[in-house]
Amino acid sequence: MTALDAARLPPTDHPRLLAGWAETGAITRYSGHRRRYGPLPGLDGPRLIELVSRSGLRGRGGAGFPTARKLRAVADGRGRRIVVANGCEGDPASAKDGVLLELAPHLVLDGIQLAARAVGANEAILAVHTGSRLLRTLAAALRDRGTGEVPVELAEVPRRYVASEESALVNHLTSGDARPTVTPPRPARRGVRGRPTLVDNVETLAHIALIARHGDGWFREAGTRDSPGTTLVTVGGAVALPGVYEIDLGMPVAAVLALAGGPVEPLQAVQIGGLGGSWLPLPYADGMPFTHEDARAVEAGLGVAALVALPVRACGIAETARVLRYLADESAGQCGPCMFGLPAVADDMAVLADGADRSGVVVRRLQERLGVIPGRGACAHPDGAVRLAAGALRVFAADVARHARGDSCTWTGAPPWLPTA
């Protein structure tokens, strides 16, 4: 998914982060950005944190942690502080951070400057994947606007699924090793080079830039009480116009799919939350509000703001087996749940997809493995894979039974509906 792909799609009713892109295209020059948004507001650190707190902004790159709490934790830390803007977007199901950085890079850079002011940082890093087409765009944007209040370094991170996880990112920027580390301490206490570090997703920082200009009341005009504001969501699979959309949090899943032109064929389920998310059956999922709390209530999670529509003709078990193999191969290879647990789960799901479990032994073994892996890894990678596998066994129970009987699969095998590359 590229920014050009997104720019061909119809705008949402109330765009904020992407306001104006349909008319003017990408705003990559700092002069054009200042004409649209004006200069940085002159708020000091405590006032910025209080404003973000009243807005209710939650992180847009993980578990939805309250942003103001992270800001306060870093501001209270001892020693020189640092801000890390995470634009790596390691999940193949998501393209929203890349689209934002390409269409509105200076909005993200504004957010970096304001976050640095809020926590008292004297250094900032903007991290993207090695070889990303965004490197040239971002380097040009940084040259165009000059140093600013705090110098921003552009850093490259290996293109691995787990490399953009918070502790892996901090580890890489400190030592060059892009593997997750066991926490605590959290980066707010001891992060890059041992310094108190704010690690925030680039979309979160762009929201800070808008909240500082328009206020907390304006931000809360969209979304829900507990999940206010808008969010960028990547919609893919069997829809007419796959791409990145800006939606009000709380919008029903069916309405999000409708923004993407609606299904192009009958659907059986949606995958929500990226490759480490879960499956939800249709039409049950149609009315579910797109929020962190509603996704958690159905054991789906919303670590990645993405929806993938799975058509009736596809096989959810086969799709899950393919993705589990990818997730097993993307392991950092440093703890048992990833090194041994994920390959075993992927193997079991592949046997089930092939219809080779006529005794039911593999299903029982798979269920046992899914019960002992979560919470034991150095990061949440194995937990996400288990969540996807468990969701598949639950949502595609009829397919599980059919495969267990050795019946042939009706899946055509193409295209792969869940992206893995």
CATH code for position 355: 1.20.1440.230
User: And the tokens for 127?
Assistant: 């991290």
Least confident of 74-88, 96-110, 173-187: 173-187
From 290, 311, 332, the end of a domain falls on 311
Could you tell me if 214 and 283 lie in one domain? no
* 413 found inside a domain: no
Distance of alpha carbon 230 from the chain centroid: 14
The enclosing domain of 14 has a CATH number of 3.40.50.11540
Least confident of 86-100, 102-116, 290-304: 290-304
Q: What is the mean pLDDT of the chain?
A: 90
Q: Are 280 and 298 in contact (CB under 8 A)?
A: yes
The enclosing domain of 302 has a CATH number of 3.10.20.600
Q: What would the mean pLDDT of 159-170 be, rounded to a whole number?
A: 92
User: And the tokens for 112?
Assistant: 């970096």
* 115 found inside a domain: yes
Total domain count for the chain? 3
What type of residue sits at position 328? A
Could you tell me if 183 and 92 lie in one domain? yes
Q: How many CB atoms lie within 10 A of CB 24?
A: 11
Helix (H, G, I), strand (E, B) or coil at 83: strand
Is residue 155 within a helix (H) or strand (E), and if so which, with residue range? Answer: strand 152-157
* 225 found inside a domain: no
Least confident of 17-26, 280-289, 318-327, 349-358: 17-26
* 349 found inside a domain: yes
Which has the higher per-residue pLDDT, 15 or 228? 228
Helix (H, G, I), strand (E, B) or coil at 418: coil
pLDDT of the residue at 8: 43
Could you tell me if 80 and 8 lie in one domain? yes
- In angstroms, rounded to a whole number, what is the distance separating the alpha carbons of residues 298 and 242? 25
Phi, psi of 242 (to 5 degrees): -60, 145
From 311, 327, 352, the end of a domain falls on 311
Could you tell me if 169 and 274 lie in one domain? no
* 26 found inside a domain: yes
Could you tell me if 303 and 326 lie in one domain? no
Phi, psi of 327 (to 5 degrees): -65, -40
Distance of alpha carbon 182 from the chain centroid: 21
Entry pTM = 0.94
For 255-280, how does the pLDDT look when each residue is reduced to its tens digit (9 = 90+)?
999 999 999 999 999 999 999 999 99
What is the domain range of residue 176? 3-219
Given pLDDT bands bounded at 50, 70 and 90, which one contains residue 379? Answer: confident
* 385 found inside a domain: yes
pLDDT of the residue at 408: 60
Burial class (CB in 10 A: 0-12, 13-18, 19+), 276: buried
Which has the higher per-residue pLDDT, 302 or 371? 371
Could you tell me if 114 and 62 lie in one domain? yes
Burial class (CB in 10 A: 0-12, 13-18, 19+), 46: exposed
In the chain the first and final C-alpha atoms are separated, in Å, by 11
For 243-255, how does the pLDDT look when each residue is reduced to its tens digit (9 = 90+)?
999 999 999 999 9
- In angstroms, rounded to a whole number, what is the distance separating the alpha carbons of residues 272 and 395? 13
Q: What would the mean pLDDT of 172-176 be, rounded to a whole number?
A: 95
Q: What would the mean pLDDT of 204-220 be, rounded to a whole number?
A: 97
Could you tell me if 191 and 273 lie in one domain? no
Could you tell me if 204 and 248 lie in one domain? no
Could you tell me if 30 and 113 lie in one domain? yes
Identify any residues that bridge with 263 across adjacent strands, giving them in sequence order.
239
Locus of tokens 């909005």: 107
Could you tell me if 293 and 394 lie in one domain? no
Could you tell me if 212 and 273 lie in one domain? no
From 277, 311, 345, the end of a domain falls on 311
Distance of alpha carbon 39 from the chain centroid: 29
* 412 found inside a domain: no
Could you tell me if 336 and 374 lie in one domain? yes
Phi, psi of 200 (to 5 degrees): -130, 145
Given pLDDT bands bounded at 50, 70 and 90, which one contains residue 7? Answer: very low
* 410 found inside a domain: no
